[in-house]
Amino acid sequence: MRVRKNGSSVPLGRGGCHTYKDNSILMRKSVILLFLMLLIMLLLIIPANAETTQWYNYEKGMDAASSMEKPVILDFYADWCGPCIVMENSTYPDPRVVSELKDFIAIKVNTQIRIDIERKYKIAYYPTIVFLDPKGSEISRHVGYLGPEDMVQTIQESRGKLPKETPGFQVLYLLLAVSLLIIGKRITG
């Protein structure tokens, strides 16, 4: 309805008449609605609690590796080291790297503070990554920057160098029992 100057109203017809101001308000509401829908979709797509690697200090990490019988990755870094900072911000948070590190106890060693550990492992350049077996023996090391893909490959190669579990006495008893059964059948049969 449209109101005349004299107060009477006149129907505008089916859709009514929109002014430029009405279109502008409608456009703003549409943009805001679209923005909210996109935001909701992003929140649904991105996991709220993306997995990260749990990093230990040296003593706690070595204790955890010993008690859980897990291999260790030692990341030797310095605060002033550019490649170390890039790895901290891009390599280690990468989901592929996080997934590969699940089987390891991850330990960060700040060589500016822990000079004793730096000397123990004879670290001369940064970053240096050292892989240890569950007993603490070194199995491999890498000196220098690693991007996510190279880090995944390095972790997989180091995992391949870990000592394989040898069959326990249970397997030997099982083999002995099967052998005795076969010998017994040959004697009686």
Tens-place pLDDT, residues 107-143: 999 999 999 999 999 999 999 999 999 999 999 999 9
Are both 87 and 154 inside the same structural domain?
A: yes
Q: Is 17 among the catalytic positions?
A: no
Report the chain's mean pLDDT, rounded to a whole number: 81
Burial 84-123 (b: 16+ CB within 10 A, else e): beebbeebbebeebbebbeebbbbbbbbeebeebbeeeeb
Query: Token pair of 131, please?
Result: 């892989």
Query: Token pair of 21, please?
Result: 């101001």
Are both 77 and 137 inside the same structural domain?
A: yes
pLDDT of res. 160: 83
Which of 31-35, 47-51, 71-75 shows the lowest mean pLDDT across its residues?
47-51
Say which CATH number the domain at 71 has. 3.40.30.10
Are both 81 and 145 inside the same structural domain?
A: yes
130 Cβ partners below 8 Å, 6+ apart? Answer: 73, 74, 76, 121, 138, 140, 141
Q: Is 84 among the catalytic positions?
A: yes
> Which one of 62, 74, 84, 117 is the catalytic residue?
84
Distance CA 36, CA 69 (A): 48
The residue range of the domain holding 85 is 55-160
Which of 95-109, 129-143, 171-185 shows the lowest mean pLDDT across its residues?
171-185
By percentage, how much of the chain surpasses pLDDT 90? 56
Does 170 have pLDDT greater than 80? Answer: no
**Angle, CA 142 vertex, CA 139 and CA 144 arms, to 5°:** 165
pTM of the entire predicted model: 0.62
Are both 71 and 131 inside the same structural domain?
A: yes
> Which one of 81, 109, 129, 151 is the catalytic residue?
81
pLDDT of res. 25: 73
Give the Å distances, CA to CA, from 138 to 1, 149, 162, 163: 85, 22, 10, 11
